[in-house]
């Protein structure tokens, strides 16, 4: 609280609206300042990560954003193999919607993303295929589709 007030004094504006000693809300300027502060923290963590990478190769943190489906069904065996191969790399898995995943990548909150949903959200990023996810229609033997050799989604 004291540090925030010192910063507000230095900047000459309020970051928070207060009612007595209690914070009531964030000012419009405060929202922008907090957004920039978050970006700076991510950049500072990036600087630390670069330094650590050179000091201790094969050590560090890998931050991955993915959907719940990928985290639950596809990643566990991959994570297990990765952890055995790189025991000194800490994996941080962030789960979210495709939009949240995109935002996490763009803000630098994560290093990479694994998703199969809403690829159009990622047109501003590089998409690299990493596996194919087969889907199947399952029917009983007497169903009319059982006689079709190959189906399309249409």
User: What radius of gyration, in Å, describes the C-alpha atoms of the chain?
Assistant: 23
Task: Write down the pTM of the prediction.
Answer: 0.56
Q: Which CATH architecture has domain 56-154?
A: 3-Layer(aba) Sandwich (3.40)
Contacts of 109 (CB under 8 A, 6+ apart): 42, 63, 65, 94, 103
Pick the CATH number of 1-55 from 1.10.3720.10, 2.60.40.10, 1.10.10.10, 3.40.50.1820: 1.10.10.10
Domain residue ranges in the chain:
1-55, 56-154
**CA–CA separation, 143 vs 98, rounded Å?**
35
Task: State the Cα angle at 78 between 100 and 108, rounded to 5°.
Answer: 30
Instruction: Yes or no: say if 114 and 70 are a contact pair by the CB < 8 Å rule.
Output: yes
Instruction: Yes or no: say if 35 and 21 are a contact pair by the CB < 8 Å rule.
Output: no
The tens place of each residue's pLDDT in the chain, 154 residues long, gives 788 889 999 999 999 998 888 888 999 999 999 999 988 988 888 888 778 777 877 778 899 999 998 899 888 999 999 999 989 888 999 999 988 998 998 888 999 998 877 667 777 777 777 777 666 778 888 888 888 888 876 6
> What number of other Cβ atoms are within 10 A of residue 23's Cβ?
14
């Amino acid at each position: 609280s004291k540090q925030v007030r010192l910063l507000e004094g230095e900047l000459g504006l309020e970051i928070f609206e207060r009612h007595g000693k209690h914070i009531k809300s964030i000012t419009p300027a405060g929202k922008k300042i907090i957004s920039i502060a978050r970006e700076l923290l991510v950049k500072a963590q990036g600087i630390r990560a670069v330094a650590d990478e050179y000091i201790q190769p094969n050590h560090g943190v890998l931050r991955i954003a993915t959907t719940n489906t990928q985290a639950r069904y596809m990643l566990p065996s991959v994570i297990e193999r990765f952890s055995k191969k790189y025991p000194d790399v800490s994996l941080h898995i962030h789960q979210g919607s495709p939009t949240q995943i995109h935002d996490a990548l763009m803000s630098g909150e994560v290093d990479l993303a694994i998703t199969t949903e809403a690829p159009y959200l990622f047109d501003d990023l590089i998409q690299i295929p990493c596996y194919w996810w087969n889907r199947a229609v399952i029917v009983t033997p007497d169903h009319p589709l059982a006689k079709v050799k190959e189906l399309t989604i249409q």
